[in-house]
Amino acid sequence: MSDSFRALCSDFYINQKLSVKMDLPRGRDTVLDLFERVRKQFPSMSQFRRYREELALESPQGEGAHRWLAVRNNNIRSGVVNPGQPGEEYSLHKNILETAPFFMNISALDVDYLELLYGFDLAAGGNHDAIVFDALLPGSPLAQLADLPGGVPVDCQPLLGMRIAGREDTEVYFEVKTRAGTSTGFREADAPPEPISVYLTLRRFGAVTDVKDLVSILGDLSNLGEELVESRVVPTLLVPIRDAIASGS
């Protein structure tokens, strides 16, 4: 799946979040046992890090697909950046859903939601908000709001959330994220340009009958996600923004 995106963006990633209602155990042995289990399956994930609000296990940057796992008080997140081989996109996420509930004592009733995020970074200099505005809004009623003398967009980050018929327990979000400082010029002169990010987020709410069902829910979300990426995200968001960047908007 990822090979087809290399011509459209600088980085592509798929993140997962399993959110629970009660605080997760943060004991030394519990977290380390989980991390050791994941490391056996993915040996490159050998870097253990402690941040202010999370404990993380990561693979080194720049060596093929970058993988990471993070445990916070009430969620477990994982990500795969620039997967290359078929199956790399979801293998870590599936492994987490199979093992984490048992190491972290997560019950079926404790599950709040499972989230799958498809992210696309497009390297861009200049005014990100103006680029997104020129790519997505001209000719729309919203564009009339910016029809002011000398008007320059300083915040243009479209976000649309919705439910799909027949999937009342699932929410879908389309979002474009620009970076602070690009519209005002307040950046270090030698700082590399930050990307414009496009996100597709799918969130499935509700308790599950059995924690073993989480893997099948992931499969359902990934099927829907890939369909929406191909039919909506690429033609409606990625291609217009990429073209606006290339044209020097």
Question: Residue 239 is part of a domain; what is its CATH number?
Answer: 3.30.160.110
Q: Which pLDDT value is given to residue 87?
A: 76
Give 181's pLDDT tier (boundaries 50, 70, 90). Answer: low
Residue 93's Cβ-side half-sphere holds a number of Cα atoms within 13 Å equal to 29
For residue 248, give the DSSP letter. Answer: T
**To which residue do tokens 């690429």 refer?**
234
Percentage of the chain lying above the pLDDT 70 cut: 92
b/e per residue, 66-97, with b = 16+ CB within 10 A?
Answer: bbbbbbbeebbbbbbbbbeeeebbbbbbbbbb
User: Range with the lowest mean pLDDT among 61-70, 75-84, 93-102, 155-164?
Assistant: 61-70
**Enclosing domain of residue 90:** 2-246
- pLDDT given at position 9: 92
pTM of the model: 0.92
Q: For residue 97, give the nearest of 66, 76, 72 by alpha carbon.
A: 76
Task: Tell me the residue type at 22.
Answer: M
- Write out pLDDT tens, residues 80-97: 999 877 778 999 999 999
Q: Are 70 and 76 in contact (CB under 8 A)?
A: yes
Q: How many domains does the chain have?
A: 1
d(CA 247, CA 242): 9
pLDDT tens readout for residues 32-63? 999 999 999 999 999 999 988 899 999 998 76
Confidence of residue 5 (pLDDT cuts 50, 70, 90): confident
DSSP three-state, residue 233: helix
